[in-house]
């Protein structure tokens, strides 16, 4: 039976979520699930996530794992909400400990407000998971953040998170806390070591005018045409290009709301005695030279 990746596009953040399963078999994994959030109204919206629930239920699937490729800054993770609806274990890079430590100070969070039990499992480079009768290999691909992972499924290809975008868009930014353009270059070269025909499944697409939305490409296409790292771009040139580009970028609109939720696997802050939940937004958190 064919190994299949069902694609869900979230238009507000131009994100892709995936349900991966073998046709005719019940076991599945969910990769990079998105929870919609209306910032101006501070309102969560489960309608997009509900589409994933409906797909899983309609195909009589059993969720084994929910993966976030990294701690997303542009959307809230739906991992915890989907776990409450469908079961499964939430897994993330073991490097999240570095990320959480950085942002605990940033958000002035007490130790008791950060519960590692929000995650069920921590993944490291080289881990292999068996899901029913298919296999998933974990790749640590830091650079965008310290905790970025990619997932290699030999029958499908590599789910690369934010490491690479479509060739005409380029590569992930590296100016978030702990980001490193040199590391990203090496992570991309590691991906480029896979066969040219290997399919890369993307987490986002931001198509330029005249091109339709795309959620996948090949290693060969990236090597030849990526505007930041294609054509054998030397490391020093890539780093200079990446840093210059990052200096022009604004913060993602949902970043300050998203990260404090995503370092808790998408679990929301505990409610107060009136049953109300709050997010914390630090004032003037960055110096003029910070992201």
User: Quick one: pLDDT at residue 45?
Assistant: 97
Average pLDDT over residues 17-41: 98
User: Quick one: pLDDT at residue 287?
Assistant: 62
**CA dist., res. 75 & res. 255, Å (int):** 7
Enumerate domains of the chain plus CATH numbers: 3-262 (3.60.15.10)
Average pLDDT over residues 147-154: 98
User: Quick one: pLDDT at residue 291?
Assistant: 55
Residue 134, pLDDT > 80, answer yes
User: Quick one: pLDDT at residue 283?
Assistant: 87
Lowest-confidence segment of 105-114, 178-187, 260-269 by average pLDDT: 105-114
Average pLDDT over residues 168-193: 97
Average pLDDT over residues 100-113: 79
Question: 101 or 181: whose pLDDT is higher?
Answer: 181
User: Quick one: pLDDT at residue 112?
Assistant: 61
């Amino acid at each position: 039976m064919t190994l299949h990746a069902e694609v869900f596009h979230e238009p507000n953040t131009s994100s892709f979520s995936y349900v991966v399963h073998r046709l005719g078999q019940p076991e599945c994994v969910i990769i990079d699930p998105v929870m919609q959030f209306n910032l101006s109204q501070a309102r969560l919206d489960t309608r997009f996530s509900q589409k994933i629930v409906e797909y899983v239920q309609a195909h009589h699937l059993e969720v084994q794992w929910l993966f976030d490729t990294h701690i997303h800054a542009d959307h809230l993770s739906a991992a915890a909400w989907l776990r409450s609806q469908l079961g499964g274990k939430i897994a993330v890079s073991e490097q999240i400990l570095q990320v959480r430590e950085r942002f605990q100070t940033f958000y002035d969070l007490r130790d008791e407000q950060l519960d590692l039990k929000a995650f069920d499992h921590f993944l490291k480079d080289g881990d292999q998971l068996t899901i029913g009768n298919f296999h998933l290999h974990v790749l640590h691909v830091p650079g965008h953040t310290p905790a970025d992972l990619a997932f290699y499924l030999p029958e499908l290809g590599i789910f690369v998170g934010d490491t690479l975008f479509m060739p005409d868009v380029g590569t992930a930014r590296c100016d978030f806390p702990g980001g490193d353009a040199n590391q990203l270059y090496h992570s991309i070269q590691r991906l480029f070591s896979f066969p040219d025909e290997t399919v890369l499944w993307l987490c986002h697409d931001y198509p330029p005018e005249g091109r339709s939305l795309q959620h996948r490409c090949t290693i060969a296409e990236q090597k030849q045409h990526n505007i930041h790292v294609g054509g054998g771009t030397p490391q020093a040139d890539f780093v200079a290009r990446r840093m210059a580009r990052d200096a022009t970028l604004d913060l993602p609109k949902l970043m300050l709301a998203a990260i404090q939720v995503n370092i808790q696997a998408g679990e929301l802050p505990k409610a107060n005695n009136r049953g109300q939940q709050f997010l914390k937004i630090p004032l003037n958190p960055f110096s003029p030279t910070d992201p």
